[in-house]
Structure 1
């Protein structure tokens, strides 16, 4: 029997709403709080802005694009450089500037449309680019789980194995109510295993104050910091387009056309701009949550909104936020293993659904080069911005696609003969 699909605009039964919302929050939590840790700030303000940004995204996209906004990793390198030389306030100014420019880019797309996407990223290039969103993160999942350490700890392997095992078995064997919350059940199973082997320290939970305001702060602006941060716009725009296309493929709707790329890109960057104004880190649509939707078949924005509200609540309730932060890395790694793989598979699905003909050398060359560039580890550095992985592969695919488009118009392709 086919899995019951709950579509974007459908309401979720009351008994499912809370567990499904918690499941989405857990999926994004590990990666989202890692960014503020790397910037040396308290994650409470980030949890708050992730929730606010997600609700804004849902509102701006008219509830048609299910996406959870978490902390963006694209800003880490230039952000840390600015923090080291000027301070966090000037990095916030850079976040605001990039978000503002992203909103302007959304206006340009609204004016000139999105047909250019089919030219610069045809299916033969878009499929592998989307697949790389998940595949290039696979080592990150293994590293988070502790599987790439010089000395691998048995407890890490055990907790990781239980978490991944329950997630895999639950995704294919659980039925009825349990079939839509396999990720949540896997997190709970992994957490209980971690408690049993003594990996959890509850001291921060006991010592946390009942209520605490997020540590809001305000930006300062410097032209040098802004110019250092601005090239990130290319990275986040490429990432956003990829996420919208793969989400659209999963839910069976063209999100580039409805609600429109201009709306979703504006919402994404408007959230980042607001984040910089209150002291949080920039936000972006999260692949982990796309993976949850692919596994569960639940695409309702009601669930995404529920997860956002929970995130906001956690930012104010000290013990709850502290408890969530005790989730050990092997649990996050175990869940990420499956979620990232699902995103990679979604990229391959683009090739299948669009019946890409690999009898044509153009398609074969496009897919081959994009995959190799993305997985080779090649990095191109421009100023403080490093282009590698999916982003570099996306840019390469776009340039090649434009070149092949020009060859086609000039009747230079050998297949025409």
Structure 2
């Protein structure tokens, strides 16, 4: 039995028709759609290693490998690209005080967090496979899920400013370009506004020669490296073609485990992203059986993140950018994602590609992250809007309010060798306030039903949500 059946004549999709995950177009069309998915994931997937300092080629390699693994474990029924997860930006950069990683020791410390987070997500996926996902929805109702997603973006605001302030003119031009592309263009160009903004900002930095740069290798040294690779004096291997840089987790370094609590709340974000992805694709593809892949999706993403963390790649997650491509084309064929994953792996074996990307100036990063981190926050707020969260209830108000202030001010708390930052404390606050507040409300209602006295209405009053 073939992996995919041909949709119609393979060359045309009738208006309003949907190409199912188990179908494909003719191979030229499938490859073209796969190329669009590569372009859609390109900007965001590359942006994570640029911001964190992880090797670009290694991140791209495990992005492609993770995508193929995801397709296998979801039985070729759930179209998805696993790109670099932005939710890990804060804990990874926290290893170097909010800055890019610079040393092998820092890479090793951050990779421990990525590795363990992947294991936990895989374990959650295994549990969902056995008992279903209703318990996840009870633990993280929309008001809590939205708060956790949003606070991760807002916690990163100082990191955006640190790069923006180095090259403010370039950063402003970059940010303006991102906004203009997003507002002026509809469809595909609008979806890759951040990627286009990077290109505009890069050109502006070259014209202005605003090369203050980040710590470490100078901008001129980076350009020299690109020129040397482009000349390919040493032959093809090692210049145009070469192995990515691999790093191993520093499990034996006590400092690695001190950073681990920063990574744990991110697992909740990955759970929310994966469940949302499955639900969204099932709805768009008009195939409710896709929802049965929720446990497999969580397990696959967790395993892909674990493998990436074991060898030096960024954590992975399902990509909304690629959902946009599917929505525009109405082609949900997993064959296109096999093409995208294979192309990503091939690109990862080009040191020249990685060297060019590493020359992106700090001001460009500052400009795009100003928009990007804010958009992460807005995604959390969109969860509230889509689920019609009732903010007339004080318990919902305080769940979000306290979590946001803790995250934005980056509250810290030390417990022995562990330091808990704003993301961890904000996540814990959101969970505790919501669940304890509703427990108090339920106890008050029970007392009233039994004919007992009704306690005075406190700040956490209001009926618990269904």
* Short-chain TM bin: 0.7 to 0.9
Q: 1:6-405 maps to which residues of 2 (within 5 A)?
A: 18=35, 21-37=38-54, 43-61=56-74, 62-65=77-80, 67-70=82-85, 72-73=88-89, 74=91, 99-144=118-163, 146-147=164-165, 149=166, 156-175=167-186, 178-198=189-209, 199=211, 201=220, 202-208=223-229, 209-216=239-246, 231=261, 234-244=264-274, 258=291, 261-277=294-310, 279-281=311-313, 283-285=315-317, 290=320, 308-405=341-438
> Where does structure 1 lack aligned partners over 5 or more consecutive residues?
150-155
Superposed displacement of residue 378, structure 1? 0.9
Superposed displacement of residue 270, structure 1? 0.9
Would you say the 8 A contact 1:292–1:339 is kept in 2?
A: no
Alpha-carbon deviations, 1:257-313, whole Å to 9, x = none? 935553333223212332344x31451338xx6479679976977887666545433
Q: What is the rounded CA distance, in whole Å, between the counterparts of 1:264 and 1:24 in structure 2? A: 18
Would you say the 8 A contact 1:90–1:220 is kept in 2?
A: yes
SS of 1:133's partner is: helix
Superposed displacement of residue 171, structure 1? 1.6
**RMSD (CA atoms):** 4.4
Alpha-carbon deviations, 1:133-154, whole Å to 9, x = none? 322223322323x32x5xxxxx
Structure with the larger RCO, 1 or 2 (CA within 8 Å, 6+ apart): 1
Q: What is the rounded CA distance, in whole Å, between the counterparts of 1:398 and 1:105 in structure 2? A: 18
Q: What is the rounded CA distance, in whole Å, between the counterparts of 2:188 and 2:320 in structure 1? A: 20
Structure 1 294/401 Cα, relative in aligned 2: closer, same or farther at 3 Å? farther
Structure with the greater alpha carbon radius of gyration: 2
SS of 1:285's partner is: strand
Structure 1 230/110 Cα, relative in aligned 2: closer, same or farther at 3 Å? farther
Structure 1 324/8 Cα, relative in aligned 2: closer, same or farther at 3 Å? farther
* Equivalent residue number for residue 234 of structure 2: none
Superposed displacement of residue 339, structure 1? 2.8
Alpha-carbon deviations, 1:173-211, whole Å to 9, x = none? 225664454333322222222222234643111212122
Structure 1 259/333 Cα, relative in aligned 2: closer, same or farther at 3 Å? farther
Would you say the 8 A contact 2:117–2:267 is kept in 1?
A: no
| TM-score for the superposition, normalised by structure 1 | 0.74
Structure 1 347/91 Cα, relative in aligned 2: closer, same or farther at 3 Å? closer
Structure 1 173/395 Cα, relative in aligned 2: closer, same or farther at 3 Å? same
Q: What is the rounded CA distance, in whole Å, between the counterparts of 1:385 and 1:160 in structure 2? A: 35
| TM-score for the superposition, normalised by structure 2 | 0.68
Superposed displacement of residue 87, structure 1? 9.9
Would you say the 8 A contact 1:8–1:64 is kept in 2?
A: no
